[in-house]
Amino acid sequence: MKILQINKFFFIKGGVERYFFDLSELLAGKGHQVIPWSVRHDNNFPYPEQNDFAQFIDFSKNEGFFKEIAKGWKIIWNRDAGKKLEKVIQKHQPDIAHVHNIFTHLSPSVISVLKKHDIPVAMTLHDYKFFCPNYTFFTNGETCFACLKKKNYYSCLIKKCVKNSYFKSLAGCLEGEWQKFLKVSQKIDVFLSPSSYLRRKAVEWGIPKEKIFTLPNFIFKEKEVVAGRSEKNYILYFGRLNQEKGVNLLVESFSEIFKNFPYWKLKIVGEGPEEERLKKMVSGREEIEILGRQNSREMKKTIAGANLVVVPSLWPENFPYAVLESFCLARPVIAAKIGGLPELIKDGKTGILFKPGDKGDLKEKIVYAINNLSRMKELGVFAQKEVLRKYNPDKHYQKLIKIYEGIKRN
């Protein structure tokens, strides 16, 4: 089968790209021809046909009123992306398209081109963008489902949900309303949701139950990983340093219990808009380290060396790789009981859940873990067995290929 894999980034930016590349590897290993299509970018992984990719649009730069308007229009309808994709389709004649994150950089023009050529389309919902213009169901420091409940995007503008900017929130609002007008969701043959939580939200929005399947992410079994040396036991957070990730909550919780556990450390790996603020919070304190971004090999060693991984999210996470990666290396996880996290973590069996945003409860769970390291090690071993049993590549492939074949027939 010729499978067109579409995502706006062709380098590892987050969990979406991790899945995009892992899935491409899995499908190619099963004998399928995988045709990736994305956006040209300096950080892209090598690929011989990148000239066929769409042009990159830098939304981080303010280039003046008229250029900003032109960029904003490409969010609504990226004509260049549509033309580039059409050439790829004519060149490779794919049997099916699997779409990941196309918003902002590629636009709904991509879906229109695919349907023009009668190509079946599957789309993985990696986040909440279809129902929430800022992707997260989180704004102004708290969870928010206003757009989902009202089934329109005007609350995004009122609350300045996109980067606290009226202009960017207006663009997000218009993008969402335009997608509704074009009936983009109706043109997609099937949706894939990594968590049952997201699937429920999609159905609440109005996507028919029979059109959306729960298909959890998978993870390849790790080869032997040697843990990085550490003079102290440590708790680990790794991931984006965004407000909704709750890293501040973790720092505050650890700070308040540290005096009782002076031989422990908290290590934070990642980068993001909260990085500088966090560095100021922990300035001069040796017990908390902010390590910045690590490459894949370094990250695996850091995870393997941790006694415990904490996922303190304030927003309803979908199906984070941080938990899968920790489990794969037999590390137990303490996580907020929110979103799709309770589907991944069996409380008291593979990890521990705490009340989201509750510093007292998080402190209590961390203290319990530190005082019961042998028990936590048992949880980690069981978590490893579970993740390799439930979220292995072969099981994922068997489910996915049935979905592909089903939409091809129909």
What is the residue extent of each domain of the chain?
2-126+189-218+392-409, 233-390
Query: Mind giving me the DSSP string for 346-375?
Result: -BTTTEEEE-TT-HHHHHHHHHHHHHTHHH
- Alpha-carbon distance of 282 to 291, in angstroms, equals 12
- pLDDT tens digit sequence for 174-200: 999 999 999 999 999 999 999 999 999
Domains 2-126+189-218+392-409 and 233-390 share a fold: yes
Express each pLDDT in 140-180 by its tens digit: 999 999 999 999 999 999 999 999 999 889 989 999 999 99
Question: Residue 70: its pLDDT value, please?
Answer: 81
Q: What is the pLDDT of residue 276?
A: 94
**231-249: average pLDDT:** 94
Q: How far apart are CA 246 and CA 364, in angstroms?
A: 17
**pLDDT score of 65 more than 80:** no
Q: Can you point out the beta strands (E) in 29-174?
A: 33-37, 96-99, 121-124, 138-139, 142-143
Mean pLDDT of the residues in the chain = 94
| pLDDT score recorded for residue 167 | 85
Confidence band (pLDDT; 50, 70, 90) for 226? Answer: low
Name residue 347's beta-bridge partners. Answer: 351
Quick check: 330 pLDDT over 60? Answer: yes
The second-level CATH assignment, the architecture, of 233-390 is 3-Layer(aba) Sandwich (3.40)
Give the mean pLDDT of 25-39.
98
Evaluate whether the domain defined by 2-126+189-218+392-409 bears CATH number 3.40.50.2000: yes
pLDDT at 56 over 60: yes
pTM listed for this prediction: 0.95
